[in-house]
Amino acid sequence: MSSSSQTVQRTPAPGKRHIEWRDVMHDIAAGSVVRSIAAVVLSLIVAAILIIFTNEEVLSTLGYFFSRPGDFFVTAGQTIATSFGAMFRGAIFNTNAATFEGAIKPLTESLRFAGPLIAAGLGIALTFRAGLFNIGGQGQLLMGAAWAAWGATMLHLPPVIHLVVAALMGLVGASLWAGIAGFLKARTGAHEVIVTIMLNYVALGLVTFAMRSPILNGTSTGSAATTLPPDPNAVFPRLLGDGFELRWSFVLCILAVVVFWWIMERSALGFRLRMVGLNPDAARSAGVNVSRAIIAAMLLSGAFVGVAAVNQALGRDGNFGPSIDAGIGFTAITVALLGGSRAVGVLFAGLLFGALQAARPAMQVVDVSPEILGVIQGLIVLFIAAPPLVKAIFPFLPAPREIKDVATGARPQLERKDDE
């Protein structure tokens, strides 16, 4: 056999694999996941400092700090351990409970609070990916809850069908309300931030009126703003038995994560929405109907917020009032930011904020103001919205790599063609 016909196997250049792994680790360290973790860590550190300097026992040791500085550090350490220990027992596992059911109940409460935050966070994240800013989560949740409540109280259907119909009504109500902002944005150019904020006030007024009228209350106009108790056939059953408040609506919120992932990462519609979010002009040049994409994005966003509305309206046995939103519409913005507008990220961000919400009673027991948890949430938003601040605090975090041409190693340049 001639030498020309022989196959020559080339050994990879030394260090090539090392360079590839180094690039991978660089991308991980410079990615949004690490920045989100850094934001949470910084928020917890600031919260710990606030807890220390608002504790009376710690402050009393400052009077003789220079004579016995050890007392300050010991008391501060005990205060932090007590506070974060109470947070753990209130949100994850109660080590002081006498039964296993009591020990895991904090975890189920965290999941119960996390469910609507995850669903609403998905709705806000979808608009972020499409280049929009949906501030109308509160109004969309109120309208979805009102529609679901009407279906649960005014209709009389068989058990399973009744729950499905009421849930679908909630999704449709929230979706259509969000679609108003999308239509105005696409057809008139109205800014979605202003429109969605104003629609929050309109929705609150309409829902409150409906709760004071026979539409949702069943009595004469002027009564207390509340709905009728839902039909038992239209209420989600408890997931783990009567000893826990967690209901099957939480499973619906988890299914919403899967649907969101499929839409944004695998479907043609999601690809068009991401194109519009990255560059509307380029998407239009590629044949994408930008106006339809904007309307579709807002309709889908409202549908995901509607899952949260259904969770709130049909995940209880009693009636509810206009406060059914419970701040979920605005907290969902934080969840979407912390989650990087990705399905898995929003899932974990919602679980974190649900745990913070569930930990409030336990924090009060050890004389820690529950407002500290609100400070943590606000600081997370601050650090997520200000990457240079996180970079200044953690200077060892690398910056994202520039995209370069594989062959030449140079940055790609857009070709510019002159009109002939």
Q: Say whether 247 sits in a helix, a strand or coil.
A: strand
Residue 269 has a pLDDT of: 92
Largest CA distance in the chain: 100
- For 39, how many CA atoms within 13 A lie in the half-sphere containing its CB? 29
- Is the CA virtual torsion 236, 239, 240, 246 positive or negative? negative
- Is the CA virtual torsion 159, 312, 316, 227 positive or negative? negative
Using the structure block, give the residue that is written with the tokens 């949430």. 377
> What Å distances lie between residue 13 and 21, 25, 36, 179, 408, CA to CA?
14, 20, 36, 56, 18
Q: How many helices, marked H, and strands, marked E, lie in the chain?
A: 17, 0
Residue 173 has a pLDDT of: 95
Angle at the Cα of 133 from the Cα atoms of 177 and 398, rounded to 5 degrees: 150
First to last CA, the chain: 57
> What Å distances lie between residue 211 and 163, 220, 352, CA to CA?
21, 10, 33
State the angle between helix axes of 100-129 and 343-358 in degrees (0 to 180), rounded to the nearest 10. Answer: 140
Write the DSSP symbol of residue 158: -
Contacting residues for 260 by C-beta, under 8 A, at least 6 apart: 122, 125, 126, 304, 343, 346
Q: CA 111 to CA 102: how far, in whole Å?
A: 15
Write the DSSP symbol of residue 340: T
pLDDT per position in the chain (420 positions), as tens?
444 445 445 555 554 444 566 666 666 666 677 777 888 888 888 889 988 888 888 888 888 888 888 888 999 999 899 888 888 888 898 888 888 888 899 999 999 999 999 999 999 999 999 999 999 999 999 999 999 999 999 888 898 999 999 999 999 999 999 999 999 999 998 999 999 999 999 999 999 998 888 888 866 555 678 888 888 889 999 988 888 889 999 999 999 999 999 999 999 999 999 999 999 989 898 888 999 999 999 999 999 999 999 999 998 888 888 888 888 988 999 899 888 889 999 999 999 999 999 988 888 888 887 788 888 888 888 887 777 777 787 777 776 665 554 444 455 454 444 443
- For 143, how many CA atoms within 13 A lie in the half-sphere containing its CB? 26
Residue 353 has a pLDDT of: 92
Q: CA 295 to CA 289: how far, in whole Å?
A: 10
Using the structure block, give the residue that is written with the tokens 């063609």. 417
Write the DSSP symbol of residue 228: P
Helix (H) or strand (E) holding 28: helix 16-29
Helix (H) or strand (E) holding 69: helix 69-91
> What Å distances lie between residue 396 and 35, 41, 46, CA to CA?
12, 15, 20
